[in-house]
Structure 1
C-alpha cells in the first residue's frame, strides 16, 4: 500500500512540475529588462509627449490587449517588449515617462522601457515627435545614477550585468531615407547612409555598456520594404527592394559592430535576431506559418488598408491572427509573438551567436 502511495505521489509531483514548466515559462531568468527602441517596442512612452502626433493611444489599437484598451502600443495587442519580458518570467517593463520623477530606484529595479514610436538612431529622425535613441540613453543614465545611489556601485553593477538590454531601432531612419529626394540620395548613397547609422550606433551601444549593460539582445530590422505602406507605392503591390536591401545592409553592419564590441569587451555578450530573414519566410510561405494575408494591413483605409492609418474611423479585420501586418507599418500581435519566440529559442541563421534564452542563462 505504501509503495502504491509513494508511486502516486511521484506521478503527481511530475505532473505538477510539468504544469509549472508550462505556466511558469522562463520565470526568474534575469533580474530586469531594459528596452530601447521605436514603435515596435513602445509600451506607452509617446502617450506622454503632448506635442507628438505619433501616438497609438486610441482605438482600434489594443483591441486584443487585455481589457481591449488602447495603451499606446502600436498594434492590436502585445508587442515584442511584452513577449520577451513574458518569456523571461518578468512583467513588462513600464514606460519611463510614466514613472514619477520623484520615484526612487525601486521603480527601476525590475526594468524600464525607453522605446518611443518614431524614434531612430539619428536625432533628426522624426525630431520633436519622439524620444530619439540618444535621449533614451540620457534617461537611462539617470536611472543608472539612481540605482547606484540606492544600491551602491557594486550591487548596481551586478544587477545590471545580469539584466538584459533589448534594442529595437533603425527602421525609421531607413524609411525616411527611402522616401527622401533623389538629390539627397546622391549626396549620401545607400551604403554610406547605412554606415553612418552603424557608426552612430557604435557610440550609443558603447555608452550603454559604460553604464553597466553586459547582455545585449539586438532585434534587427525587418524587410521594411514589404510593409503595406511601401507596397502601396508599387503598382504591382510588391515589396520595395531598395528598402529591403538597406535593411540587409544595416543588419550586417550591426552584426559586425556587436562582434567587434564582444572582442573589445570580454565581459560583454549579445544575441542578434535577423528579423528580415524570419519575416520574409512568413511572407513568402504564409500557409506554412498560418497566415493568409501578407500584403494588406488589418486596420486602415484605402488600397491595402494603407492609405489612411489605423484610426477610430478605420475598419479592421476580424481574422487578425492570419494577417502579418496590423496597420501600414506594424505587425499584428500574432506576428510579434512568433518573431519573439524565434529570437528567444531558435538558432542560426535566424539568431546568433546565441538566442535570448541562452544569453539570459549566462
Structure 2
C-alpha cells in the first residue's frame, strides 16, 4: 500500500511539475533578453572589474532584497530588473558573474546583462570611468552567441534570438563626459561633431548585434541629463544645464532617425524607442502627478543638493526614497525607475515610438 501511495504521490508531483513548467513558459513574453548599457541597467558587472565606479557598498541597495548593495546604482531595483519582471523573465545575472561558472552556456538561454556603470558608445568614456564600453559588451555577447551555437546549432540559436529582446541603454556618459566641468573634449570638437561621431559609431554597433542574431531592439533614450543633481550643482542657480539638455534631446532624435533607417533597410528589424528625456522633464515639471516632492536634490550624498559628495557610506540619505526622483548624483530612485518602465512597457506615442516594449515582445 505504501508503495502504491508513493507512486500516486510521484504521479501527482510530476503532473504538477509539468503544469508549473507550462505555466512558467506561458508567463514568459519572450524566451530571453540581452541587456547592454551603462549604470542605469548595471546589475553588478562593475563588481568584477578594476573600477572605482562601483555600487557594491551602502547606502546603495537599502531597499533591495536583503537590504544589501549588489552593484546597482540605486536604492532598490533598477530599469533592467523591472523590464525583465514585466516580461515574465527571472532577474538577469551580470555576465561577468557567470564567466567562471562551469555551466555558463546553459545560463545564457534566458539572456544575460552586459551593462557596466560608466559605459559609453565611444571608447573615450573609459578615460573618465573604468568600465566595459559598448564595444566590449558586444565582444562578450559575441562569445555568448558562439556558446549558444555550440548548444543549439545555428538554426536553433537564430530561432531563440529572433524572438528575444535586446535592450540598449547608452549615451548618457558620452554626454556627461563632454559636458563635465573639466572636459578637454570641448576643445577638440563641437557638440554637433560629438553627436555625429556617437551616431555613426552606434550604427556600427547595432549592425554588429543584428549580425549576431538580434531582431528586436528596445532602445531607451538619454534622459534630460542637464537636470541631474551633479549638473544642477555646477549652476549657481541650481537650475538645469540647458545646453546639455538640448544636445541630449537632439541625440535622441538622431537615434530615432537611425532606427527608422535600419528598419527601412531590413524589414526583419523591429524596435521600440523610449523618450526618457520627456518623461524625466514631466517628473520635474509636474511632480505631484507622479508622487514626487523632491526633483532637484539627490536622496543620498552630502553638500548642496546632496550633490557635492557622492553616495558613500559616510553620506546621509533621505528617509522616504519614493519622494525623490534622484537617488544620487546621476541615478534615479527605484520609484522613478518603476514609473519609467511602466511607460517603456505599456506607454504610447510620443513616449514609446513607434510601439511599446509589450507590443515589441508580441511580434
TM-score, structure 1 as length reference: 0.91
Task: Check 1:104–1:76 CA distance in 2 against 1; reply closer, same or farther (3 A cut).
Answer: closer
Cα separation, 2, equivalents of 1:182 and 1:29: 43
| Residue 184 of structure 1: how far off its partner (Å) | 3.9
SS at match of 1:288: helix
The answer to whether structure 1 residue 249 and structure 2 residue 246 are counterparts is no
Task: Check 1:187–1:324 CA distance in 2 against 1; reply closer, same or farther (3 A cut).
Answer: same
Contact 1:191/1:249 (<8 A) preserved: no
Task: Check 1:212–1:236 CA distance in 2 against 1; reply closer, same or farther (3 A cut).
Answer: same
Structure 2 counterpart of 1:91: 90
Contact 2:98/2:104 (<8 A) preserved: no
Task: Check 1:321–1:104 CA distance in 2 against 1; reply closer, same or farther (3 A cut).
Answer: closer
1:132-162 CA-to-partner distances (Å, cap 9, x unmatched) read: 0000000000000000111011110000000
| Residue 28 of structure 1: how far off its partner (Å) | 1.2
Cα separation, 2, equivalents of 1:225 and 1:182: 15
Cα separation, 1, equivalents of 2:181 and 2:68: 35
Structure 2 counterpart of 1:313: 314
Task: Give structure 1 regions of 4+ aligned residues with deviation exceeding 6 angstroms.
Answer: none
Cα separation, 2, equivalents of 1:83 and 1:319: 20
Cα separation, 2, equivalents of 1:183 and 1:205: 28
1:217-268 CA-to-partner distances (Å, cap 9, x unmatched) read: 0000000000000001111100001110111011011111111111111101
Tell which deviates more after alignment, 208-217 or 183-192: 183-192
Contact 2:177/2:183 (<8 A) preserved: no
Structure 2 counterpart of 1:115: 115
Contact 2:33/2:110 (<8 A) preserved: yes
Cα separation, 2, equivalents of 1:256 and 1:105: 36
TM-score, structure 2 as length reference: 0.91
The correspondence of residues 133-148 of structure 1 with structure 2, limited to 5 A, is 133-148=134-149
1:45-70 CA-to-partner distances (Å, cap 9, x unmatched) read: 00001x21000000000000011000
Unaligned runs of 5+ in 1: 1-23
Cα separation, 1, equivalents of 2:133 and 2:99: 20
Structure 2 counterpart of 1:69: 68
Unaligned runs of 5+ in 2: 1-23
Number of residues of Structure 1 aligned to a counterpart in Structure 2: 338
Q: What is the CA RMSD across the aligned residues, in angstroms? A: 1.5
